[in-house]
Each structure stands twice: as structure tokens, then as C-alpha cells.
Structure 1
């Protein structure tokens, strides 16, 4: 799974400017890459990811499951 240093330049910039130990809302998520990386690196308490396109939901779910990040609906 991807950690912060492996994110794209755009997502890494956001990650490095995200307040630590907070709850993050990732609206329009890129397949949950940002919240998963933040969680894996222990930088946030929890997150909520929302995607407007319904067909990307399985990919987000898969990323969370592969990374052992707890997922709730």
C-alpha cells in the first residue's frame, strides 16, 4: 500500500499540509489514496472519503481492505 512519500506531488502536498491527529474528509477522493496513506503513516485519527462517481466505490473499498485500514459504511 501507498505511504505519503509515494503519493503524487499534488496529494503529497495536501498530505504534508494536513493537520496531524485530526479527522479528515476527502471529498472527491482519488481511490482513497490520500486517507489510506495518512492512516498508514499514523498521521490522522480517522477519515471519511466520498466519491461522486458510484463506479469508483469498489476501488476505494479495495484500497482500504488491502491496507488493513478500518472501513465503515
Structure 2
């Protein structure tokens, strides 16, 4: 409660109690919501980035060249 307002008149007035609660708790709630929004945005970006990196495409050629000695030589990454 705001300490410079005292007495039963202020403590029983619902408008004063609403203003008092908003003044005391409002700034921390706003800052907390901003931090939570950035945290959610960072999490979604991290998952989206990991999802894009997990999808790999490969081009496989079935030609038999004498130069390619191992099987890994016939697979090359598109990226």
C-alpha cells in the first residue's frame, strides 16, 4: 500500500485499492511480460533454426566411376 495515504477512508475505497495495486505491481508485471515474450521468441527461433539444420538433402549418383573408390564418394551434399 502507499504509505503516505492512511486511514480507513483510503483503505475502504475500491478505486484507491485498484490504483494502489496497479502502482505497486504494474511495472514489475510489464517488465516480466516483456522478458517472457523475448524468451518465448528466442525459444521459437532456436527450434526453427534447429529444424532447418536437421533437414538435409543429398544427391546420390549411381554411376560407377573407377575414380570413386568408396561409397561415400558417390554421395555429395547439396548445401
Larger radius of gyration: 2
TM-score > 0.5 by shorter chain: no
Counting helix residues as a fraction of each chain, which structure ranks higher? 2
TM-score by length of 2: 0.22
Counting strand residues as a fraction of each chain, which structure ranks higher? 1
